[in-house]
Amino acid sequence: MSAEPRPRVGLFATCLVDLIRPSIGFASAKLIEDSGCDVVVPEQTCCGQPAFNSGDRKTAKALAMQAIDAFQGVDYVVAPSGSCAGQLKKHVPELFADEPELARRADAFAAKVYELMSFLVDVRGVTAVDARFEGSVTYHDSCAGLRELGIRAQPRKLLESVEGLTLTELKDSDVCCGFGGTFAVKYGEISDAIVAKKSDNVAAAGAGTLLAGDLGCLMNMAGKLQRQGRPMKARHVAEVLAGMGDEPAIGEPQA
């Protein structure tokens, strides 16, 4: 019996992971490899969402085309972020809807794009991971992943298989943390008020660790918890699933 060929997955690390927290990229690569795929990391910058959401379609299109070119020749494009995956999967086709030639390329590209949790569970059929994490965690559903891509059950299912981990549900886990990309800086005061409510809910959940699937939201929530002197640690769900949960948490001093 010949083994099925291993799909070639292009890891779209996302610019935040690339710049701020490479450990999420390595955790993602491990999880994708463990699911029976080969991982490549084509040269990449940004999915273009900040430009798209700021009304700068021209830059958004240029960055989308750059990504489409860079990820030619892979079977899948996987991103550890519902927000960036949503941009590439849902919004990139919108950007080229009026240009038939480019639209075909954009649609074909978008069809290959998956958010990491969805890729592992829905595409690769992963039901369990080989990881240990001692302690209780709670989970925030980031907006784009939840509402654009339907990601809710997948991370919870995989977390169930982590040895030693207990999941406590977060009140209003589906409510925005107030990040919103550039919103967090442009309307910082409102963003801060929204994340203050999230922080209260995280504290009330009573878990030691907050997990989510988007680094932007995590940095926002971690930043608030830390400013308020709360002890909860924030990590990307991929890090815990990949058994890299002992890395210093987001915003914690490097060893």
Partner 1 sequence: MNAHSTSPAFKENAHRALNDPALQRALGNVETGFIGKRRKAAAKLPEFEDLRDSARDIKNHVLAHLDLYLEAYEAKVTAAGGHVHYAPTAEDASRIVVEICKRVGARTVAKGKSMISEEIELNTALDAAGVKPIETDLGEYVIQLRGERPSHIIAPVIHLNRDQIESDFRRVHTGLPEGRNLDAPESLLAEARGILREKFLAADVGVTGANFLIAETGTSVIVTNEGNGDLSQILPKVHIVLASIEKLVPTLDDVSQTLRVLARSATGQELSVYTTFSTGPRRPGDVDGPEEYHVILLDNGRSAMLAGEFRDMLRCIRCGACMNHCPVYHAVGGHAYGWVYPGPMGAVLTPSLTGVKEAGHLPNASTFCGRCESVCPVRIPLPKLMRHWREREFERHLSPAPVRAGLAVWSFFARRPLLYKLATRAAMSVLSLIGRGKGRFSALPLAKGWTAGRDFAAPQGSTFQARWNAQARTRR
Q: Please, which of residues 148-207 interact with partner 1 by CB under 8 A?
A: 148, 174-176, 178-197
Instruction: Give min distance, CB of 85 to partner 1, in A.
Output: 14
Neighbours of 227 (CB within 10 A): 13
227 counts as binding partner 1 under rule CB under 8 A? yes
Our CB check for partner 1 shows the closer of 48 and 213 to be 48
Our CB check for partner 1 shows the closer of 57 and 112 to be 57
Q: Report the 3 state secondary structure along 67-121.
A: HHHHCCCCCEEEECCHHHHHHHHHHHHHHCCCCHHHHHHHHHHHHHEEEHHHHHH
Q: Which of 81, 118, 209, 220 binds partner 1 (CB under 8 A)?
A: 220
**Residues 6+ positions from 90 with CB-CB distance below 8 Å:** 110, 148, 149
Which residues, numbered 31-50, are part of the site for partner 1 (CB under 8 A)?
A: 41, 43-46, 48, 50
Q: Which residue has the tokens 């809710």?
A: 152
Q: First CA to last CA across the chain, in angstroms? A: 47
230 counts as binding partner 1 under rule CB under 8 A? no
Our CB check for partner 1 shows the closer of 159 and 194 to be 194
Instruction: Give min distance, CB of 108 to partner 1, in A.
Output: 22
Instruction: Give min distance, CB of 2 to partner 1, in A.
Output: 26
- Residues that bind partner 1 (rule: CB under 8 A) add up to a total of 72
Our CB check for partner 1 shows the closer of 24 and 210 to be 24
| Cα angle 125-126-128, degrees, rounded to a multiple of 5 | 150
Name which of 44, 181, 180 is nearest 113 in CA terms: 44
Our CB check for partner 1 shows the closer of 128 and 193 to be 193
**235 near 250, Cβ under 8 Å?**
yes
Which residues, numbered 47-76, are part of the site for partner 1 (CB under 8 A)?
A: 48, 50-57, 59, 62-63, 66, 70
CA dist., res. 164 & res. 100, Å (int): 52
Q: Which of 73, 125, 231, 253 binds partner 1 (CB under 8 A)?
A: 253
| DSSP SS3 for 14 | coil
Instruction: Give min distance, CB of 169 to partner 1, in A.
Output: 16
Which residues, numbered 115-144, are part of the site for partner 1 (CB under 8 A)?
A: 143-144
